Every structure is written in C-alpha cells, then in structure tokens.
Amino acid sequence: MLTYRALLDDAAHTLYESCDTPRIDAEVLLQHVLQQPLAWLIANGDTAATQDHSKRFYDLVAQRLSGQPIAYLLGYREFWTLNLTVNEHVLIPRPDTECLVEAALERLNKEEPSRLLDLGTGSGAIGLALAKEQPLAKVLAVDYSTDALAVAKANALSNHVSNIEFAQSDWFSNVDRHPGFHLIAANPPYVAEGDAHLEQGDLRFEPKMALSCGNNGLSDLTTIIESAKDYLLSHGSLLLEHGHEQFSDVERLLKDNGYRDIELYKDLNQLPRCTAAIWPG
Ligand code: GLN
C-alpha cells in the first residue's frame, strides 16, 4: 500500500508533461479526495493511503492528465468572496474578471438602491458579486444557456444572495427596456474563432459559446454596445470585459455609439481587460 506522500510524488511525476503546476495540481486533487487541508497531508504523509482514496485520486489524476480543468474536477472555483459551483456548462471564473467587479463597485453607491444587469452571467460570478456587495441593488442576471442558468441559480442559493433574479435571454432579447438600468456589465465571448488559445489549457474544455465569437471576437461586444444604450438610464454605466488587444476597437465602438467618459481598467497582469463608459442619455 502506498503512503499519501508516495501517491503525491507519483501523480506529480505523471502530470509533469501535461500540466504547468504538476505538484500543486496533485496536492489540490488529493486534498479534495481526503477533504483535508494541505497541513494534514504534510503531517500524515507517511500514512498508508486507503484503497478508496487511492482509487478516487488516480481517477482524478487521469482526468487531469487528459486536460480537464482543475475547477471542473473539484466542482467549484472561488471568485471575489464567493464559492461558485462550476461545471462544463459555464466558463470558469477568472481572477481577471474581478477588475470588472471593482470597476463596477467604484460606480455604485452602497447606500442607494440601483438596478443592475449582468449579461451572459454563466456561473453567476459578476452578478452575484455585485448583488452581494450592493445589498440595496436589484440584479438581473441573464444567460442564453439554461444549463448555465441552473448553475448560477444554485450559486445564488449556496452563497445566500437573494437580491438577484435570473432569466433566459439572448443578450437583451428577454430584458425589459423600462425602467432601465443604472449599470450593465458583461464578460461576453471575445476570443476570435479559430484562435490557437482555444486549443490550449482549460479553454479546450470550456463552453465555446461562452468563449469565442465572430468578427475577430468583436461581434458580441458590438451587439452589446449597440443595444445597451436602449436599456441604460441616463448617465448609466456600461462595463465590458474584453481581450487585452481589443481595447482600441472597444473604445472606437463606444465612441461611435455616443458613449462618453470611456475608462480603461487593467487586470492583475497589468493588461487592458475592462472598459467602462457612460451613456449620456
Ligand atoms: N478570459 C478568457 C480567456 O482566458 C476568455 C473569456 C471570455 O471570452 N469572456 O481567454
């Protein structure tokens, strides 16, 4: 019978070729099987692994070896102050998207009620973070995918967020124009179709619909920019996540559509990742 340390060494070796962080991945997967923190694993490294633990661990390692994202294997990902269930129907929330949440919060007043819209909510990451930080806000979170909405609704319950509603909608197709929103946020698909990144890492396993779109990754951003002005209150904000090379395209689209006060936000890697603008009304 192998010890827990031997299981880790073996798995780190197996994952060496296929993962950037083989040791960490092995540790995280074993912690998940054992439901124990890393400290337990270190303190009990010499203990013989049970057959059940060993089997479940090797099963996860085999899936990781084939490229399955860690977040899907664990079934959750932390985002902002939330613990979000994730599965193959939703994009895995990225730390980069927290810059959009921060930018949105800078524009909102906690003491005042507001109406917020999260387009293409996926796991619910943006909508839930905003709803939690703005207890007086009413958030509408929409997605085209009913499978994604099921995940987002479950996340609202498990994170005890109740000032949020969900609706199936193809961008604005099922959203009422009136009475209008103080802020609209979206992390839409923006990777160009056929981009080599889609064949690398986690992106291979994430829903294509949430990742990529036509016109070099700009078609959904364009649709949202063109439509959002009919749904924003006067002086409402539009916040969009985009690729780091898309800032000037997004800026041009916003200007051409009459938005003002265009502001760029950088992600954790100091790359342009989110643009905000005001609809003058
Ligand atoms: N940020 C994602 C990436 O890793 C893309 C997400 C999106 O298209 N909205 O490229």
| pLDDT at 281 (0 to 100) | 85
Mean predicted confidence (pLDDT) in 249-271: 97
Report how far ligand 1's centroid is from the alpha carbon of 277 (Å): 21
Residue 138, pLDDT > 90, answer: yes
Q: Helix (H, G, I), strand (E, B), or coil: what is residue 278? A: strand
Residue 216, pLDDT > 90, answer: yes
Mean predicted confidence (pLDDT) in 120-125: 98
In tens, the pLDDT along 97-119 reads 999 999 999 999 999 999 999 99
The tokens for 156 are 């609202």
Q: Which atom in ligand 1 lies closest to the alpha carbon of residue 189?
A: 8
In tens, the pLDDT along 16-72 reads 998 999 999 999 999 999 999 999 999 999 999 999 999 999 999 999 999 999 999
Give nearest CA residue, ligand 1 atom 5. 211
Report how far ligand 1's centroid is from the alpha carbon of 9 (Å): 32
CA distance 275 to 239: 6
Residue 1, pLDDT > 90, answer: no
Give nearest CA residue, ligand 1 atom 2. 211
pTM assigned to the model: 0.95
| pLDDT at 21 (0 to 100) | 95
In tens, the pLDDT along 148-201 reads 999 999 999 999 999 999 999 999 999 999 999 999 999 999 999 999 999 999
Give nearest CA residue, ligand 1 atom 1. 94
Report how far ligand 1's centroid is from the alpha carbon of 233 (Å): 28
Mean predicted confidence (pLDDT) in 126-139: 98
Q: Which atom in ligand 1 lies closest to the alpha carbon of residue 217?
A: 8
| pLDDT at 154 (0 to 100) | 98
CA distance 151 to 75: 11
Structure letter (DSSP) for residue 50: P
Pick the closest to residue 156 from 191, 132, 133 (CA basis): 132
Count how many Cα atoms sit within 13 Å of the Cα of residue 109 in the half-sphere of its side chain: 4
Average pLDDT taken over every residue of the chain = 97
